[in-house]
Structure 1
Amino acid sequence: MESRKPVLTAKDYLNVTLRSYYLQNGFNYNSYQGTGYLFVIFPALKKIFKNEPEKLKEFAMENIEFYNTNPHMLPFITSMHLAMYDHGEDVEDARSIKMALMGPLAGIGDSIAQFGLAPLFSTIFAGLAMDGLSFAPMGFWLTMIISLLTIKLLMGHLGYKLGTSVISTLSEKIGQISNAANIVGVTVISALAVTFVKAKIGIQYATTLASGEEQVVSIQTILDKILPNMLPAIITIVVFTLVKKYKWSTYKLLALLFALGIGLSYFGILV
């Protein structure tokens, strides 16, 4: 993109931050939060590309892709993302930053909200409720709402400040930063893929040792010694190819994976 004069104000970034509450409203198994993400930033996109309807359409389509992060951390991502658009940075550089922040901030946000604030406040207000304080359940609800809103506002402000300062001071190195972010993003997604994709080869065979003792050898054990998690990685690459190159839908992929999983498990090839 060509350099452009920024048009977004602090009020626009605040509006996008508050709209992050709508992130999950468009959740689906094709793009996860992709539809919601576009809805959150769309007013800001309309302002940036006010007189460029074709670019607005192009950038809207770019942001309806798969996305999945913690809703409370989202304002940090959207603020940086929009700051790059607003300053005319390349769309691929902005996308790399957006995708790289997805995984790490999802983990941080989940830890803070679900394993930090929720257990802490539930313990406090549960104790108060057991002591007979009728306001305790409402107190827990209000405390969580205020805490999470504070996090959203803080993340939105930090993303805006960091995004604008980075662009103004490192504008010539945005490409390098984007490449580094791309590497981080790919590393995180690769780690998630081999962790959550479960597939093992169930084929075994018996062999007789020199001592005359019979030993059962597992193909999966041999593969793990050559390259751990080889099968999950292959499945992930095949699925990615079907989606990226052949434009398969989520439902078509699920039907294929269900059929292969059931069929290969029935014949003992997979376990």
Structure 2
Amino acid sequence: MAKNNANIEEYVDQDTNANLDAKLMRQSWLRMLWVQASFNYQRMQSSGFLYAMIPALKRIHKNKTDLSASLKLHNEFFNTSPWLVTFMMGVILAMEKGKQPLETIRSFKVAAMGPIGGIGDAMAQLTILPITASIAASLALDGVGIGPLIFLLMFNLVRFAIYVPIFNYGYKLGLNALGMLQQQSKAFSRGATIVGLTVVGALTASFVRVKLGLEIPLTGSVLNIQQDVLDKIMPNILPLIVVIGCYKLIMRGISPVKVMLIMIIGSIVLHYLGVL
């Protein structure tokens, strides 16, 4: 008699000879591009993750009880970096093919979601996105009309250069992935964050513009507060102050939307007062 899939701990069919060919694997990681298509606040990315896993799971689990248990497992809460999610997918497919106990697979998912999310966010949001966006923005400011297309091309070329190899690497790594991830995630996240903050600092100086209208008339000349005083202390000190001020407001719990409204209203008021 088949076990109830709600209580199953190990797969009934322990055959590990399922053939996950290149075509099937390609279909799986391509589907993972839609991992956030059904994003919701109950299970986050679970629907998208399950959708990507289904073709391989059907090939691995011929027993209906096993397939049902696996589908149920991968429809549980799931949320990680969309950039590095294929690494987890590769590892989990290796575990599924090896018919590891369901609790082992679940434990890996729970343990790896956080580190991979941290690494992916630091790498994508703080490093690759600012770099590619700043290059495209510079081109657009110079009158290059295809600047946005260049951004999309660069951004996605970098993404796919990471997306596919880490899927294959995760599949080959299998069960050893968790230990490696725990050892390297902190150092990798720190390195990516440092690079990202360096880029953000460069963007602050290049793209944040603040121009004071305050001048002090002197005998035979005019003293411009910004050019002759503040910029002499440190070039672009005003953009830095604005960025730090926005950061402090966000860290105090004020939403980014409210910070933008404060900046807009404040800029209008200060302009009419002759300060900006």
Map of 2:28 onto structure 1: 16
Structure 1 residue 101 displacement after superposition: 1.1
TM-score (norm 1): 0.58
How many residues of Structure 1 are paired with residues of Structure 2 in the alignment?
170
Unaligned runs of 5+ in 2: 1-10, 186-276
In structure 1, give the amino acid aligned to 2:150: G
Residue 49 of structure 2 is aligned to residue 37 of structure 1: yes
Equivalent residue for 1:74, pick from 75, 85, 106 = 85
Match of 2:36, SS? helix
CA offsets 1:106-135 (integer angstroms, 9 cap, x no match): 011111111111110111111111111112
Counterparts of 1:26 and 1:130 in 2: how far apart (Å)?
36
Structure index of larger Rg = 2
Unaligned runs of 5+ in 1: 168-176, 185-271
In structure 1, give the amino acid aligned to 2:96: Y
Match of 1:30, SS? coil
Counterparts of 1:77 and 1:131 in 2: how far apart (Å)?
41
TM-score (norm 2): 0.57
Moved over 4 A (4+): none
Residue 165 of structure 2 is aligned to residue 154 of structure 1: yes
Map of 1:172 onto structure 2: none
Map of 1:26 onto structure 2: 38
Percentage of pairs with the same residue: 34
In structure 2, give the amino acid aligned to 1:67: F
Contact 1:16 1:75 in 2 (8 A): no
Equivalent residue for 2:60, pick from 43, 48, 58 = 48
Structure 1 residue 56 displacement after superposition: 0.8
Counterparts of 2:107 and 2:42 in 1: how far apart (Å)?
20
Map of 2:19 onto structure 1: 7
Structure 1 residue 19 displacement after superposition: 1.1
Structure 1 residue 152 displacement after superposition: 0.9
RMSD in angstroms over aligned alpha carbons?
A: 2.3
Equivalent residue for 1:84, pick from 89, 95, 119 = 95
CA offsets 1:54-109 (integer angstroms, 9 cap, x no match): 21111101111111101111110011001111012212112211221100010111
Counterparts of 1:147 and 1:6 in 2: how far apart (Å)?
32
In structure 2, give the amino acid aligned to 1:119: P
